[in-house]
Amino acid sequence: MEILKEIKVPTGEIYTAKGDKGVLEFLTVADYGKDANIKADFLGITRELNGVPNGTPMPLTEKWVITISTQYGCSMNCKFCDVPKVGPGRNVTLNDLRHEITTALGMHLEVNHTKRLNVHYARMGEPTWNEAVIEHARFFLRVDIVPYIGNSLVHPVVSTMLPKHNCNLYDFIHKWVRVKNTDYNGNAGLQFSINSTDDAQREYLFSGNALPLRDIAELADTLETPRGRKYTLNFALADDSIIDGKVLASMFDPRKFMCKITPLHRTNSCEANHIQTSGGYDSFVPYKKVEEDLKANGFDVIVFVPSYDEDNGLITCGNAILSGKKPTSSYKEVVF
């Protein structure tokens, strides 16, 4: 894979490169650590997050996150995401997936081991459209990292909007659950991006392309009990988000599912569609009521708040350098 451009931002690097079918992007992120930007009472991290200061990330030897694209662009057309601006979703190849990982690892040859490598299939595209994601995680990911970081722990994560027009969605999700529970013995993640418990609101946010919540719940009922971390219901919180813990608990078993709350990242699409989390980067107030409601209905809850450097550096979800946006944090661009 030929790297075209590297953009160095305060918390990582974003790469654009030539794939088998065109140009794609992927990135390396250095994590602040769970004590810096999450609140999770069930983990004993109970202080409120009134903003996360820009700081020095942990070394990659402690935790390394690589976020890769599963498609060139995306066709989901979510109202809060810039990736559809890159173009329609065309699946990357298995070869692309392998080279995104090894290329990112190869840019940091000074690191020969990490305590944890998280691989997120979440930069560009909806991963459930691409069956190669399953093959990659099962047969290649753990093998491909060995020449770079040896037997380091690897934790792959699929995050999905659950597209209703994907006739292979149920099959993909069940295969990924087997990857999580069997192939990785629980050390893998599955996240459903829900954002609201109101179907009319979800219809707008996902441009009519995501399953209704009741259909997602019926799928969830068929999933075996997770090994390791529970499956995640993710809510990117907007000012007008409708999130009802009682409704959610009536559909999803809190013994199988936990909840994650984040601010909506400040993409061009969010700005154009007037979708925002007012104060979400500076105060815990936007999250407090929702967190308490979800906890009262039996859910473990993680609140994740990025720093301004993370969001302005465009390493957060919903962003894409290939959409034409540039970081507003300090950055250095290297053209190869």
Residue 283 φ then ψ, to 5°: -145, 150
Q: Output the six-digit token pair for 55.
A: 């700081």
* Mean pLDDT in residue range 42-58: 92
- How many helices, marked H, and strands, marked E, lie in the chain? 12, 14
- pLDDT, residue 300, reads 98
Average pLDDT (43-56) is 92
Residue 186 above 90 pLDDT? yes
Q: In the prediction, which pLDDT does 34 show? A: 84
Are the C-beta atoms of 282 and 235 separated by less than 8 Å? no
What is the reported pLDDT for 191? 98
Which domains are assigned to the chain? 2-335 (3.20.20.70)
Q: Report whether 154 contacts 113 (CB < 8 A).
A: no
**How many C-beta neighbours within 10 Å does residue 208 have?**
11
- In DSSP terms, which residues pair with 233 in a beta bridge? 192, 259
> Model's pTM, two decimal places?
0.96
pLDDT score of 9: 97
Query: Is the model more confident about 15 or about 54?
Result: 15
3-state secondary structure of 60: coil
CB 29 within 8 A of CB 67: yes
Tokens of 14: 């974003």
Residue holding tokens 């997120």? Answer: 120
Interior angle at CA 69, CA 73 and CA 4, nearest 5: 85
Distance separating alpha carbons of residues 112 and 105, to the nearest angstrom: 9
Given pLDDT bands bounded at 50, 70 and 90, which one contains residue 156?
very high
Confidence grade of residue 33 (pLDDT, cut at 50, 70, 90)? confident
**Residue (of 251, 252, 242) closest to 199 by Cα position:** 242
Helices (H), 191-322: 199-205, 213-221, 245-251, 268-272, 285-296, 308-312
Overall average pLDDT of the 85-95 stretch: 97
Q: Any residues with CB less than 8 A from the CB of 57 and at least 6 apart, and which?
A: 11, 12, 29, 30, 31, 32
Distance CA 65, CA 162 (A): 23
Alpha-carbon distance of 31 to 29, in angstroms, equals 6
Task: Name the band, by pLDDT with cuts 50, 70 and 90, for residue 152.
Answer: very high
Residue 35: pLDDT above 90?
A: no
**Is the per-residue pLDDT at 45 higher than 90?**
yes
Check pLDDT > 90 for residue 213.
Answer: yes
List, for residues 103-115, the tens digit of each pLDDT value. Answer: 999 999 999 999 9
How confident is the model over 226-241, as a mean pLDDT?
Answer: 96
What is the C-alpha to C-alpha distance for residues 37 and 64, in angstroms, rounded to an integer? Answer: 16
What mean pLDDT comes out for the span 284-312? 95
Q: CA triplet 196, 294, 35: central angle to 5 degrees?
A: 100
Q: Please state the rounded mean pLDDT for residues 257-286.
A: 92
Instruction: Please give the mean pLDDT across all residues of the chain.
Output: 96
Give the pLDDT of residue 298.
98
